[in-house]
Amino acid sequence: MSNTKKVTLNIFRFNSETDYLPHYQKVELEVSQEEVVLDLLNRIKWDIDGSFSYRRSCRHGICGSCAVKVNNKTVLACKERVFDLIDIFGTDWTIDPSSKSRAIKDLVVDKKDFWEKYNAVTPYLVADIDEHPECENIILPETAEKLEEADYCIQCGCCYYACPVIEVNEDYFGPAAFVKAYRFNADVRDNAKIDRLKTVDPIGPGVWDCVKCFECSEACPKDIDPQSKITKLHNQLFEEGVAENNVASRHAVGFKKSIEKHGILDEGMLVAYSEGCAVVKHIPEALEMFKKGKIVMPWNMPKSKNMDEIKKLVKISSTAKF
């Protein structure tokens, strides 16, 4: 069996100082089983076109600088094995910067918005620490475990540039900032939990705008699972009483109310409870749905069997307050 394969690469080329629009350069390479994407980028620069630009530094999956997209999959170029990509996509690849709209030169992007949002969540420990401590501030293993994998984030931006909300809502903080907010909120030594929660609570930039698509968790090269940290920030908002009473928080709480009453959701009442008076804006779509038999009237609202069980479980299992 051959240890090499031929791949065709369409490389994104753009110089923001001289080009009006980007173009793609086609490159064919014979690649071997041992190579990662960064090896191919290096070969293009060293052997084919010295003007080709991309970021790289540590070459060990630690610095996070070499994040690019291959056929829309965000990867760390130094970690992604070429034969693994061939298994997924075959041998025709398009290599793009992690964000085409932020490209400065070829695969190099301007991460200004990433860092601004990252900085906005107070991404460091806030604590009054004795300048001359008499002993170490020891953290027990079970306490450290609460940070989960959030500590391993290398700020590569893979999750951020994979997140679809980032492309349509310029205010949205994005998964990397949320992971960092969770990381320090889960640290027992930290004193800024409430402030961070107030930062991530507002609709628009905050956690309520997460679409729950798991693109971030899929993209993360360090297996941090940002989506689970976003869920935990939601939980903390309720636990700490920080969650504002708005359409999004009521929507989450409305599920419990509806389950307690019907077992399954009363979809109409859930929207009404979440929206409050603003529910009237849904009337045109509701009428369209009604005409097509997509709305259940209150007197026909189905219920789960054995409702007494469900009511009891809600009563004895629920601890969250709103």
- Interacting residue ranges for another protein, rule: CB under 8 A: 71-73, 88-89, 164-165, 168-169, 203-204, 208-215, 217-218, 225, 227, 231, 234-235, 238, 246-248, 251-256, 258-259, 263-265, 267, 271, 274-275, 285, 288-289, 292-296, 302, 304-306, 309-310, 312-314, 316-320, 322
Question: Is the Cβ of residue 101 or residue 319 nearer to another protein in the bound state?
Answer: 319
Please give the Cα distance from 34 to 269 (Å, whole number). Answer: 57
Pairing of the two strands 103-105 and 92-97? unpaired
Question: Is the Cβ of residue 83 or residue 238 nearer to another protein in the bound state?
Answer: 238
Please give the Cα distance from 294 to 271 (Å, whole number). Answer: 15
Question: Is the Cβ of residue 189 or residue 312 nearer to another protein in the bound state?
Answer: 312
Question: Shortest approach of another protein to residue 84 CB, angstroms?
Answer: 11
Question: Shortest approach of another protein to residue 174 CB, angstroms?
Answer: 13
Question: Is the Cβ of residue 107 or residue 219 nearer to another protein in the bound state?
Answer: 219
| Distances in whole angstroms, Cα of residue 7 to Cα of each of 107, 194, 288 | 19, 51, 50
Please give the Cα distance from 280 to 287 (Å, whole number). Answer: 11
Question: Shortest approach of another protein to residue 18 CB, angstroms?
Answer: 28
Query: 6 exposed, middle or buried (CB, 10 Å; 0-12, 13-18, 19+)?
Result: exposed
Question: Shortest approach of another protein to residue 62 CB, angstroms?
Answer: 22
Question: Shortest approach of another protein to residue 57 CB, angstroms?
Answer: 26
Question: Is the Cβ of residue 104 or residue 289 nearer to another protein in the bound state?
Answer: 289
Question: Is the Cβ of residue 91 or residue 231 nearer to another protein in the bound state?
Answer: 231
Question: Shortest approach of another protein to residue 126 CB, angstroms?
Answer: 25
Q: Which distant-in-sequence residues (6+ apart) come within 8 Å of 66 by Cβ?
A: 38, 41, 54, 55, 56, 57, 76, 77, 78
